[in-house]
Amino acid sequence: MPSIRPAGCTPGTSPGWTPTATSRSSAASREIEDLLELHPDIESVQIIGVPHATYGEEAMAWIKPRAGAEVDADQVREHCTGKLAHFKIPKHVHVLGADEEFPMTVTGKVKKNVLKERAAGIVQTN
């Protein structure tokens, strides 16, 4: 029997369950996003998997800070430490500029495939 997630959806059927293969384990991107959105300086977050030579993928956080706030990678990782397993903590963090927005579909969903394409130019495969 499949496990039931808090939202009542099984893995693979919910838009909130986007598995990111990290360190031979699977991390639900929604779990990481929900935790990071509790940070007082973060408006919204998107988690994607970026290629890793040994583990397949590792987590990358795309952060949109609140107006007037500044967030860096160390703050993001510190916020996650002790609240997430070490393999779920984003290894890469990209903070959007004040004039940047997440790429969206016409229905208002974030285009994670576009973020993955952009990430390829930011993150080098380890």
| 59 close to 32: Cβ distance less than 8 angstroms | yes
Give domain status of residue 52, yes or no: yes
Positive or negative, the CA dihedral 121, 54, 44, 97 is negative
Q: What share of the chain is helix, strand, coil (3-state, %, to 5)?
A: 25, 30, 45
- The residue segments making up the domain with residue 87 are 19-121
Asked if residue 56 is part of any domain, the answer here is yes
The pLDDT tens digits along the chain (126 residues) read: 444 555 555 454 445 556 665 544 566 889 999 999 999 999 999 999 998 888 888 899 999 999 999 999 999 999 999 999 988 999 999 999 989 999 999 999 999 999 999 998 888 644
- In-domain check, residue 11: no
Integer Cα distance of 21 and 97 in angstroms = 28
CATH number at residue 95: 3.30.300.30
Domain-located, residue 111: yes
The total of structural domains in the chain comes to 1
